[in-house]
Amino acid sequence: MAKKQVKKKSEAKKQAAPSRKKVPSRGSASVGVTSEKADSQQKAEEKRRQRAAKQQEKKKRKAQQLLHRQQRQQLEQQLAQENQEAYQALLHRRRQWKRSRRRHYYVLILLVLALSGILICFRMFLTITEIRVSGESRYSDEQLILSSGLKIGEHLYDFDAELVEQEILGSHVYLESVTVKRVLPTIVEIQVTPVMETGVIQSETGFSVISTGGKILETAILYPPSELPIISGLQLSVDQTDEEKVNKTNKQLQTLSTLNAAMTASKFTGVTEIDLTDMLNITVVYQDRVRINLGDNSNLDEKIALVAQALMDVDPSIQGVMDASIEKTIFFHEESIHPDYTPAEPEVDDESQAESSEGEESAQEDATTQAEQSSTETQTTEQSSGSTSQVPQIPQLPDIP
């Protein structure tokens, strides 16, 4: 306010200064003075108006600047408040995360302690007290337990069950599968499944007995067992890199397993040969006298059941070929499947054999007595006539029944 008053006084002095210097005349001077005063007043008013306008503009600018400053401060405060809230929320989340992490650490430590305690208890108390063998096989329980390597007193979880199973299978050929189980708290059970002898295959060194899964049980046998069929067309020693041969062998083994299961279900026995050379025409020889054509490996159980029922009506002394390749249909015709085959003679009981031998002996005795009588008669006739040169004829012996 003081500055404004000083400025007004200086302006008033400047306006008053020229009027003092010019001293017009009394007549015309009054008119000029009035006009000059009017002009000066107009100029002063314009200047005032301009100053007032400038002052108003300055006030508006200051008000706008003040408003902008206030808005900016409000925004800064809001941002600061939001940042503070976000920072507080972040701190809160961090605290919660740290707390949850601590809880997780505590839970993990408790679990580790509990597991270690349980393991220590298992180590102290879970020891093998009994080794049990279940299942039928040609091996004794002692042999199986000895080959497993398990011992009484060992810890129940100190051995690998799969390795024990492989050890037992590797040392005992006549086992199809082995399963080792832990029976808590202190028992180990060995479950064995015996192998099923399916047939024999011929090789360069002789015959080999195989199982249903193609496992070779015995080798270099000179004479095949009579109770097992001879399997032809099956090659077990194939190159594993040749996928075609490997797939063919697997298919043949699967068919052989299905065929065995079907024969077991139908109680069909007496098979002497199985030919798997052509998988579209599987043949089976029954009692070395009937060749059975089964076709492909589809519905083997139904085909074998029909064949077993049809063979009951076939005379056991004849040979023939039976076609069962068509489902639910059986064809049979008599034919010699072995050119040098002679049907076996019917079995004779001991009593009938003794009677036949006694009959043969009595017939021989009758024949000898008849021959002796005829010879004595010829001798007497020769003596009575005294002249005869004819040789007596010996009658023929009757046929021995």
Per-residue pLDDT of 87-101, as tens digits, reads 888 888 888 888 888
What confidence tier does 19 reach under pLDDT thresholds 50, 70, 90?
very low
Which residues, 6 or more positions from 219, have their beta carbon under 8 angstroms from its beta carbon? 203, 205, 206, 208
pLDDT at 381: 39
282: helix, strand or coil: strand
Task: Report d(CA 279, CA 293) in Å as an integer.
Answer: 11
Closest CA to 355 of 344, 346, 363: 363
Task: Report d(CA 71, CA 176) in Å as an integer.
Answer: 91
With beta carbons less than 8 A apart as the criterion, state whether 133 and 164 touch: no
Q: What is the mean pLDDT of residues 297-306?
A: 89
Task: Report d(CA 200, CA 213) in Å as an integer.
Answer: 13
pLDDT at 11: 62
pLDDT at 388 > cutoff 50? no
What confidence tier does 374 reach under pLDDT thresholds 50, 70, 90?
very low
pLDDT at 363 > cutoff 80? no
pLDDT at 60: 86
DSSP code of residue 127: B
pLDDT at 297 > cutoff 90? no
CA 361 from chain centre, in angstroms, equals 75
- Tokens 């200051």, located at residue: 62
DSSP code of residue 132: E
pLDDT at 368 > cutoff 80? no
Is pLDDT larger for residue 6 or for residue 53? 53
Give me the half-sphere count of Cα atoms (radius 13 Å) on the Cβ side of residue 206: 11
The overall average pLDDT reported for the chain is 77
pLDDT digits (tens, 9 = 90+) for 42-68: 888 888 888 888 888 888 888 888 888
Task: Classify domain 130-194 at the CATH topology level.
Answer: Ubiquitin-like (UB roll) (3.10.20)
Task: Report d(CA 332, CA 326) in Å as an integer.
Answer: 13
pLDDT at 57: 87
Is the pTM value of this prediction over 0.85? Answer: no
pLDDT at 178: 92
Helix or strand run (H / E) with residue 199: strand 197-203
CA 185 from chain centre, in angstroms, equals 30
Query: Which tokens in the block code for residue 304?
Result: 């074998």
DSSP code of residue 155: B
DSSP code of residue 169: H
Question: What are the beta bridge partners of residue 253?
Answer: none
Give me the half-sphere count of Cα atoms (radius 13 Å) on the Cβ side of residue 236: 20
232: helix, strand or coil: strand
Q: What is the CATH number of domain 197-334?
A: 3.40.50
Output the CA angle 59-62-65, nearest 5 degrees: 150
Q: What is the mean pLDDT of residues 190-210?
A: 84
Q: How many residues does the chain have?
A: 401
What confidence tier does 371 reach under pLDDT thresholds 50, 70, 90?
very low
With left for phi above 0 and alpha for psi between -120 and 50, is residue 274 left, alpha or beta?
beta
With beta carbons less than 8 A apart as the criterion, state whether 238 and 251 touch: no
Return the domain boundaries, the chain.
Answer: 54-124, 130-194, 197-334
